[in-house]
Amino acid sequence: MKEQIVLGCVTLSAMGSRTEVFRLLEQAVSQGITHFDTARSYGRGYSEKLLGEFFKAHGGALAVTTKFGVTYSETGALPTLIALPLNRLVKNLRPLVGLGLRLGKAESGRKEVERNPSAIGDLPSALAAKVGRDVVERSVEEFLKQLGREKVEILLLHEMLPGQLTEEARGYLEGLRKAGTVGRLGCGTRREVLERHFREDPMVEVLQYEGSLTERPRLMGRFPGKAHIHHSLFRGVGRGGHGEALRRALELNPGGKVIFSTRSREHLRENLEGLG
Ligand SMILES: NC(=O)c1ccc[n+]([C@@H]2O[C@H](COP(=O)([O-])OP(=O)(O)OC[C@H]3O[C@@H](n4cnc5c(N)ncnc54)[C@H](OP(=O)(O)O)[C@@H]3O)[C@@H](O)[C@H]2O)c1
């Protein structure tokens, strides 16, 4: 069962110290986790950077999923040793200047929406953006560098659909897949978007989206040939119920994988022990 569990790494960069991140990851591995989920955009590249440092220190056979989006995003330049405590300090100071910042943000947000209606999540325009080879190639070079890897097990299009790739970008990705730089290609996009807009595409072998604890998502029936990876399962789960939730999610997705995230070693232990 543990080989079907993936540790989500969206919150690594918010943990305040590299030591804490390493302790969490080390414990995950010692409890049987071998697969980690990250993305170019998580923590401005710091999630990939931290995982890369951990992989280097750990040296074991660990698998990784990463993702890229419609635009190339830079990785923060500061070393993780400095960036994480700094990030925590800024977060702690924020409430002290909160009101001023909040007002400023609300104002700039309002202006942004006025200028660009798609900033409020106008789906059709978000899905219309074309993604060229340049964005994909730079993203791939950057995540391989940050992760310190020559290959990744799974690469996902992040909050976008394969139809958005130009022919050149698609050819480049298929080339990576053939060369083994990427194990499997897929799409990590909201379930609602996949249900409404995803059409069968042989390049896409993995679909990653919000799972369910009560029923098999319809996408599993519509695309039985794909690997289905489910995340965001803990909403509404009460104290002590997280391990059971993971077990239920795997029962509903026996051939796939399930992702969860935590910043707490105690929660990590509880969740994995609760799995049985
Ligand atoms: N587009 C995509 O492909 C996509 C989108 C969203 C997410 N994801 C992936 O899925 C991962 C998980 O997503 P998620 O973080 O939104 O959802 P999640 O794993 O369902 O929920 C995480 C939350 O649950 C809490 N939690 C975990 N174990 C707990 C316990 N035993 N007791 C109490 N609270 C507990 C965590 O708090 P503590 O830190 O306090 O434990 C955290 O606030 C992400 O890290 C990311 O890798 C992918």
Evaluate if residue 20 carries a pLDDT over 80: yes
Buried b (16+ CB within 10 A) or exposed e, 245-264: bbebbbebbeebbbbbbbee
Which of 42-46, 119-123, 162-166, 256-260 is predicted with the least confidence, judged by mean pLDDT? 119-123
- Nearest CA among 131, 130, 133, 227 for reference residue 173: 133
Ligand 1 touching residue 231 (CB < 6 A): yes
The per-residue pLDDT for 2 is: 85
Categorize the per-residue pLDDT at 65 as very low, low, confident or very high, splitting at 50, 70 and 90. very high
Ligand 1 touching residue 191 (CB < 6 A): no
**For a substitution probing ligand 1, which of 244, 258, 261, 269 has the most ligand atoms within 8 Å of its CB?**
261
What are 162-191's pLDDT values in tens digits?
A: 999 999 999 999 999 999 999 999 999 999
Strands (E) located in 95-234: 152-158, 182-188, 206-210, 227-231
Domains, the chain: 2-82+130-275 (3.20.20.100)
What are 67-107's pLDDT values in tens digits?
A: 999 989 889 889 999 999 998 898 888 777 665 555 555 54
User: How do strand 182-188 and strand 227-231 relate by DSSP bridges?
Assistant: unpaired
The per-residue pLDDT for 112 is: 46
> What average pLDDT does range 206-229 have in this prediction?
97
Ligand 1 touching residue 216 (CB < 6 A): no
Token pair 């890897």 is at which residue? Answer: 149
Q: What is the mean pLDDT of the chain?
A: 90
Q: Are 234 and 260 in contact (CB under 8 A)?
A: yes
Evaluate if residue 158 carries a pLDDT over 70: yes
Categorize the per-residue pLDDT at 36 as very low, low, confident or very high, splitting at 50, 70 and 90. very high
Give the residue, by CA position, lying nearest to ligand 1 atom 19.
260
- Distance, CA 262 to ligand 1 centroid (Å)? 6
Evaluate if residue 44 carries a pLDDT over 70: yes
